Chain A
Amino acid sequence: MTGAVETALRARIDAGGKCLVPYITGGLGDDWLDTVRAVAAAGADVIEIGMPFSDPVMDGPTIQEANDRALEAGVTPQTILDDLRHADIGVPTAVMTYGNIAYHMGFERFANSLAAAGVSGCILPDVPLEEVGEWASAADEAGVETVMLAAPTAPDERLPLIVERARGFVYGVGLLGITGVRSALAASAVEIAGRLKGVTDKPVLVGVGVGTPEQAVEVSQVSDGVVVGSAVVQRMLDHAGPEGVAALVGEFRAALDEA
């Protein structure tokens, strides 16, 4: 069965477009849900909701700071899910957090909580293929799509295994490194997109190191679209407000639509 994340992305792809998945740190600022809604209205196909974890090893300074601010403000997985449950967002959401948040609550309970809050997908960047089995079964059971990451370091024979287990979309890691805006798109971004497109029909989105509309357009010549994290979160940290964040997402949308 195809979930809401994959369905939304396929709709965009089938219409000849490129997918845009912005990342919003859950609970960051009192108006964070307004931001999520504004970003949906600005042309996001799916929205990634970051659920802060104390030790985010895949994240660079921007998302770390957003994490810390949210945690200091008392945000918990439960407050984020409670907020989301009543939010009318208009596009599917996928939670991105780290393995221990899910493990601590219990994989089954966590998966069910996501589903109950209307969250369609989940990304656990420190739970690779070798460890994902238990979580993925619980997620499958609850109808939550487990997005898998594929990195430039993966040997060719590993990619088919990753895309096989992926639901929603396959998340190509654009560079050797952690989340954050870079001045130029790494060559590895286009490369991983190409390698993944060669082994799967599932949507292939590239994230990590995609920080400007130009970079999004560049990698989307090969990928089905992009995940944009730090650039969006930086706007939130700068108190740009829902309109300010949505304006940036609108720029990405426009650039992708024009290309």
Chain B
Amino acid sequence: MTMAEPTESGRFGDFGGMYVPETLVPACQELDRAFRDAWGDPAFRNELDHLLRTYAGRPSPLTECHRLGEELGCRILFKREDLNHTGSHKINSVLGQALLAKRMGKTRIVAETGAGQHGVASATAAALFGMECVVYMGTVDIERQKLNVFRMQLLGAEVRAAETGSQTLKDAVNEAMRYWVSAVEDTHYCLGSVMGPHPYPWMVREFHRVIGDESREQCAELLDGGVPDYVVACVGGGSNAAGIFAGFADTDAQLIGAEPAGGAAVGRAVPGIVHGSKSYLMQDEWGQVLEAESISAGLDYPGIGPEHAHLAASGRARYEPVTDAEVVEAFQLCSRTEGIIPALESAHALAWIAKMRDEVAGKTILVNMSGRGDKDVNQMMDVLGS
């Protein structure tokens, strides 16, 4: 199978759609038209490619991790999204969206952020394009990601606290959507993952497809034209996973999404509707959305992008949980053996390999190293008690 366009109603199988307040429907439809038009326009593609190369630092390298591989009994390749400008894969989609927003005549972007990586990337793009930027972040996350809050402010963005509910990513999305409802005429909602109403899940995946496309080529070179046995990525909303999966969906590679055990939307496999789309969603017996709980702010989300729900339901990809303890272990192991401090989010993918070492023994595994761990060092000092 391939990861293709959703249906006209924005569906991947049974999932997706456009469940937004009526006020936002015209904006989503306008965005769909604008993205379609831009994505088919060589001038737009060239401009974005140019930015990705000269500003974000693409292509990101593929690194073979010999010592970690030896430790875990398999061959491990890292796709180094951690080396992108601003430190994660998020910049790919943000540059695309900001360029598109500019093309649409919008003067401001609003974004939600969990770990702060998407917020930092959004603030960066806004600075680059001379746009205003408002970022919503849960109060809990503001506390555990102080460094990124300051970074966004340095970049000229206004960081607003989402003080409702669990005060994490889900609530930041609520606040960003409320803001968008009020400012839709001049503001682009720069959504941070492959979630939300159509066209976001599709558009954000397309902007991240570059991860998969580059990896496919780099793997072919390294593996004599072959593909890895496994492609593993962490999954919050699922953007880094969607991007890298897109390069391998039509191969025999097994696609694995590592979910935090406290935010395992696919594991529970209950469909629901929130934040614009129908997908798997953690909820109680009445459909109230539950609060996810994860050591990593970027994965602290009770849902998952609709295309992932479809990939799971159709059996093309597996989504499996890892615990916070397993993640902390993997975080340290990667740092010590490879000299790469991973983002706590990305460490979920590594934790999956460590956990499944029997299954993956001797196999070649491509991991999306979606971000670097600088932002997590403070938090880990507390966790590790040093």
The yes or no answer to A73 lying at the interface (CB within 8 A) is no
B274/A131 in contact, CB under 8 A = no
* Alpha-carbon separation in the docked complex, A130 to B287 (Å): 22
* Alpha-carbon separation in the docked complex, A243 to B178 (Å): 32
The yes or no answer to A198 lying at the interface (CB within 8 A) is no
A156 smallest CB distance to B (angstroms): 11
B9/A54 in contact, CB under 8 A = no
The yes or no answer to B170 lying at the interface (CB within 8 A) is yes
A151/B22 in contact, CB under 8 A = yes
A178/B181 in contact, CB under 8 A = yes
> Chain B 225-254, CB within 8 Å of chain A: the 1/0 string?
000000000000000000000000000000
A152/B289 in contact, CB under 8 A = no
Which residues of B are found within 8 Å of A152, using beta-carbon distances?
23
Known contacts A155-B26, A176-B182, A177-B181: A128-B18 contact under CB 8 Å: yes
Q: Which 10 A-B pairs have the closest CB atoms?
A: A104-B287, A151-B23, A177-B182, A54-B288, A149-B22, A100-B273, A151-B22, A99-B273, A54-B289, A100-B287
Known contacts A99-B273, A100-B272: A77-B286 contact under CB 8 Å: yes
Which residues of A are found within 8 Å of B25, using beta-carbon distances?
128-130, 151, 153-154, 158
* Alpha-carbon separation in the docked complex, A178 to B178 (Å): 6
B22/A57 in contact, CB under 8 A = no
Which of A57, A64, A131, A178 meets B17, CB within 8 Å? A131
* Alpha-carbon separation in the docked complex, A258 to B288 (Å): 43
* Alpha-carbon separation in the docked complex, A182 to B306 (Å): 36
Which residues of B are found within 8 Å of A64, using beta-carbon distances?
164
Known contacts A125-B22, A126-B21, A149-B22: A55-B275 contact under CB 8 Å: yes
A128/B21 in contact, CB under 8 A = yes
* Alpha-carbon separation in the docked complex, A202 to B120 (Å): 48
Which residues of A are found within 8 Å of B21, using beta-carbon distances?
57-58, 125-126, 128, 149, 151, 173
In chain A, residues 151-165, which have Cβ atoms closer than 8 Å to a Cβ of chain B?
Answer: 151-155, 158, 162
The yes or no answer to A23 lying at the interface (CB within 8 A) is no
9 extra interface residue pairs, beta carbon distance < 8 Å, beyond A100-B274, A100-B289, A103-B287: A99-B273, A101-B287, A103-B271, A104-B287, A105-B287, A130-B25, A131-B18, A153-B184, A173-B23
In chain B, residues 49-88, which have Cβ atoms closer than 8 Å to a Cβ of chain A?
Answer: none
Number of interface residues of B (CB under 8 A): 36
Which residues of A are found within 8 Å of B272, using beta-carbon distances?
100, 103-104
In chain B, residues 256-305, which have Cβ atoms closer than 8 Å to a Cβ of chain A?
Answer: 271-276, 278, 281, 283, 286-289
Known contacts A130-B25, A151-B22: A176-B165 contact under CB 8 Å: no
The yes or no answer to B27 lying at the interface (CB within 8 A) is yes
The yes or no answer to A244 lying at the interface (CB within 8 A) is no
* Alpha-carbon separation in the docked complex, A56 to B173 (Å): 11
Residues of chain B at the chain A interface (Cβ within 8 Å): 9, 17-27, 164-165, 170, 174, 177-178, 181-185, 271-276, 278, 281, 283, 286-289
What would 8 A/B residue contacts be, using CB atoms closer than 8 Å?
A: A55-B170, A57-B21, A77-B286, A149-B21, A152-B23, A153-B185, A176-B23, A177-B181
A130/B286 in contact, CB under 8 A = no
In chain A, residues 207-228, which have Cβ atoms closer than 8 Å to a Cβ of chain B?
Answer: none
In chain A, residues 125-184, which have Cβ atoms closer than 8 Å to a Cβ of chain B?
Answer: 125-131, 148-155, 158, 162, 173, 176-178
Residues of chain A at the chain B interface (Cβ within 8 Å): 53-58, 60, 64, 68, 71, 76-78, 98-101, 103-105, 125-131, 148-155, 158, 162, 173, 176-178
* Alpha-carbon separation in the docked complex, A162 to B170 (Å): 30
A104/B170 in contact, CB under 8 A = no
B309 smallest CB distance to A (angstroms): 14
Which residues of B are found within 8 Å of A101, using beta-carbon distances?
286-287
B19/A127 in contact, CB under 8 A = yes
A176/B183 in contact, CB under 8 A = yes
* Alpha-carbon separation in the docked complex, A57 to B20 (Å): 9
* Alpha-carbon separation in the docked complex, A60 to B289 (Å): 18
Which residues of B are found within 8 Å of A176, using beta-carbon distances?
23, 181-185
Which residues of B are found within 8 Å of A54, using beta-carbon distances?
165, 288-289
Known contacts A54-B289, A131-B19, A151-B21: A104-B283 contact under CB 8 Å: yes
Closest to A110 in B: B287
Closest to A152 in B: B23
Known contacts A60-B178, A131-B19: A158-B26 contact under CB 8 Å: yes
A126/B19 in contact, CB under 8 A = yes
Which residues of B are found within 8 Å of A98, using beta-carbon distances?
273
* Alpha-carbon separation in the docked complex, A99 to B278 (Å): 10
A130/B182 in contact, CB under 8 A = no
Which of B26, B165, B174, B276 meets A153, CB within 8 Å? B26
A57/B26 in contact, CB under 8 A = no
Which residues of B are found within 8 Å of A177, using beta-carbon distances?
181-182
B13 smallest CB distance to A (angstroms): 16
Closest to A153 in B: B26
B181/A58 in contact, CB under 8 A = yes
* Alpha-carbon separation in the docked complex, A102 to B118 (Å): 32
Known contacts A57-B178, A127-B19: A153-B27 contact under CB 8 Å: yes
Which residues of A are found within 8 Å of B274, using beta-carbon distances?
55, 100
